[in-house]
């Protein structure tokens, strides 16, 4: 009976005074995560870029990977709030991709428009197409209609976290009609109209 009383706190059991008990370890609490907005251009989102931040007098250089979108978060480990006897929180850069008037962005796909002279649309030829990195060359087949859409496979934005993969670039052709025709040009168009009527 003395054994059970001692084990389960009966009258024969005694607790050590609080001052004599071993001190409890401080509870580890992880620090808070912080967020910081960062703007990048479409070209920077295409190639990846860097940003330099100042935190508590320290210089932080952060890499922003290619393929980020508006709303993407880039984690900087241990740069958030301090922890209580524990790990510091993280800093997250919240990305905003600044719109580029040349392109519409849909996921990893891009869309743009190019103007093509009438003679190129009718007879075929080549035209230059903008992209976030450099210009591309698009072959225009003969008799291309106004509003015709071409797809350049793999020429869109990089796919985030998928190395080597890109979306597509869609190009809509806008046929540019000539203005201020010379007498010779007008005669040529009149002759063309007569030929098509016959």
Residues forming a β-bridge with 49: 64
Helices (H), 2-155: 2-7, 42-47, 118-123
What the block records as the tokens of 90 is 């993280």
What the block records as the tokens of 46 is 């295409």
15-19, 69-73, 91-95, 185-189: least confident range: 15-19
Using alpha carbons, list the distances in angstroms from residue 108 to 14, 37, 169.
71, 22, 9
Per the CB < 8 A criterion, the answer to whether 70 and 96 are in contact is yes
pTM: 0.77
| Per-residue pLDDT at 19 | 55
Q: What is the tens place of the pLDDT at every residue in 122-177? A: 999 999 999 998 899 999 999 999 999 999 999 999 998 887 899 999 999 999 99
Q: What is the tens place of the pLDDT at every residue in 21-72? A: 555 666 778 889 999 999 999 999 999 999 999 888 889 999 999 999 999 9
| Per-residue pLDDT at 153 | 96
The count of other CB atoms within 10 Å of the CB of residue 68 is 24
């Amino acid at each position: 009976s003395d054994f059970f009383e001692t084990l389960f706190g009966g009258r024969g059991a005694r607790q050590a005074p609080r001052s004599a008990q071993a001190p409890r370890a401080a509870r580890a609490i992880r620090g808070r995560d912080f967020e910081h907005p960062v703007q990048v251009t479409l070209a920077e989102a295409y190639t990846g870029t860097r940003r330099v931040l100042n935190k508590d007098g320290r210089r932080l250089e952060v890499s922003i990977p290619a393929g980020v979108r508006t709303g993407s978060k880039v984690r900087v480990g241990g740069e958030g709030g301090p922890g209580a006897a524990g790990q510091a929180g993280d800093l997250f850069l919240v990305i905003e991709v600044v719109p580029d008037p040349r392109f519409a962005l849909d996921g990893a796909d891009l869309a743009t428009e190019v103007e093509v002279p009438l003679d190129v649309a009718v007879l075929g030829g080549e035209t230059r197409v903008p992209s976030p990195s450099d210009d591309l060359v698009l072959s225009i087949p003969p008799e291309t209609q106004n509003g015709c859409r071409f797809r350049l496979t793999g020429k869109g934005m990089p796919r985030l976290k998928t190395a080597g993969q890109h979306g597509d670039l869609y190009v809509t052709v806008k046929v540019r009609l000539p203005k201020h025709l010379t007498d010779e040009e007008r005669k040529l168009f009149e002759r063309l109209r007569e030929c098509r009527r016959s």
